Amino acid sequence: MRTPADDGFFMPAEWHPHSRCWMAWPVREQVWGDGLDEARDSYVEVAKAIARFEQVTMIAPSEQLAEVSVEVGQGIGCLPLTISDSWTRDTGPTFLVNGDGALAGVDWRFNAWGGLYPDHQADAALAENLLNYLDVARFEAPLVTEGGALHSDGAGTLLAVEATLVNENRNPGRSRDEIEALLKAYTGAKTVIWLPEGLVDDDTDGHVDNIACFAAPGRVVTLAPGDEGDENHARLLRNLEVLRGATDAEGRRLEIAELPLPKPRKNADGSRLTLSYVNFYLPNGGVVLPAFDDPADDRALEILEDCFPDRELVQIPVLPILRGGGGIHCITQQQPDALAKGTDGNSSAS
């Protein structure tokens, strides 16, 4: 069976130009409870912020399509597809490009974050359904993972969290080396930097998109360890030590920008919300980042302005989304423009 790497495909960086952003309408009532309407309002706010920079399409069940179209308003498209949840970063395809201007997608095996929800069949089929709709090549991967578990610099380096992927609830019996080989085959990466752990109480077992991401080849944005008394301190310190000692696929030591850790905030069930300023989205020419009504909001904005000096930054309150288990990056999935400059993996961050 041929893999994307065999055919010259690779996972581009998120700053590679996009043709569209995909989102999905919140539908799983057990996730949101009484906060469903508020969550939907927040999804609309995120969609409208991104639509200032690039096209956005909201996926929704056919029976809700008319209602959703009214909610999102003009300028945002809607596509009827069956879904069981609203986290397109994880349930949609991981898009790939090659040097010939072709687009493809990886269809990872999806088991609802290690079996959190038994009724996830619609989301397990979403990547295939969307790729069929787009009429682009589909690579079916023999690996359970989610898009939020991976981050690429577009030049051969992946970031991933070991606790997410090397986990019996996703890939039982597979070693880290075996999983790494599959990640390389299906993303075109040459190097995988494994971070040990994610945030406390993260239902995803520690997705990397709450921990660290690339801002440019050789430059990583990550959460600072924060106060020693914080329960995330030791985890984030270990991750930071790994990043400080790592080299990318080009042999470069990483330049690291540290974002502040927001103050702890609890969900209704007493679990800690996975608040992270790393969980942002890069539309064409912009940065859509979270605000948590936290003293660190302004500092996070300043740091990301320094990381992306040529982009317009838009900061949005997202606590209603966080109460469902994710953030801005989790509810979005970029479709790269395969014909745009930079498909050789050497795109700049501007």
The answer to whether residue 307 is catalytic is no
Per-residue pLDDT at 316 exceeds 60? yes
* pLDDT, tens digit (0-9, with 9 covering 90-100), for 55-109: 999 999 999 999 999 999 999 999 999 999 999 999 999 999 999 999 999 999 9
The pLDDT value given to residue 350: 34
Using a pLDDT cut of 70, give the percent of the chain over it: 97
Domains (range + CATH), the chain: 5-335 (3.75.10.10)
Output b/e per residue, 32-69; b: 16+ Cβ within 10 A. Answer: beebbeebbebbbbbbbbbbebbbbbbbbbeeebeebe
Q: Is the CA virtual torsion 178, 182, 184, 185 positive or negative? A: positive
Name 147's Cβ contacts closer than 8 Å, sequence gap at least 6.
89, 90, 92, 94, 108, 333
List 21, 78, 213, 330, catalytic entry: 330
Strand-by-strand arrangement of the 18-24 sheet: 77-80, 56-60, 18-24, 333-336
The C-alpha atoms of residue 220 and residue 212 are separated, in whole angstroms, by 7
Measured from the Cβ of residue 263, the count of other Cβ atoms closer than 10 Å reads: 14
Name 163's Cβ contacts closer than 8 Å, sequence gap at least 6.
196, 197, 198, 205, 206
The pLDDT value given to residue 342: 55
Per-residue pLDDT at 288 exceeds 50? yes
* pLDDT, tens digit (0-9, with 9 covering 90-100), for 202-223: 999 999 999 999 999 999 999 9
The pLDDT value given to residue 33: 87
The C-alpha atoms of residue 349 and residue 346 are separated, in whole angstroms, by 10
The answer to whether the CB of 289 falls within 8 A of the CB of 280 is yes
Per-residue pLDDT at 141 exceeds 60? yes
The C-alpha atoms of residue 152 and residue 189 are separated, in whole angstroms, by 8
Please provide the average confidence, as pLDDT, over all residues in the chain.
95
Q: Are strands 137-144 and 103-109 parallel, antiparallel or unpaired?
A: parallel
Per-residue pLDDT at 53 exceeds 70? yes
345 confidence band (pLDDT: 50, 70, 90): very low
* pLDDT, tens digit (0-9, with 9 covering 90-100), for 245-263: 999 999 999 999 999 999 9
pTM to 2 decimals? 0.96
268 confidence band (pLDDT: 50, 70, 90): confident
The C-alpha atoms of residue 215 and residue 291 are separated, in whole angstroms, by 19
Residue range 160-169: mean pLDDT, rounded: 98
Distance of CA 115 to the CA centre of its chain: 19
DSSP structure string for 18-50: EEEEEEE----HHHHGGGHHHHHHHHHHHHHHH
Q: For residue 88, give both structure tokens.
A: 């397109």
The answer to whether the CB of 152 falls within 8 A of the CB of 142 is no
The pLDDT value given to residue 1: 82
SS3 135: coil
Nearest to 59 by CA among 84, 35, 24: 24
SS3 204: coil
Using a pLDDT cut of 90, give the percent of the chain over it: 95
Q: Is the CA virtual torsion 41, 44, 46, 48 positive or negative? A: negative
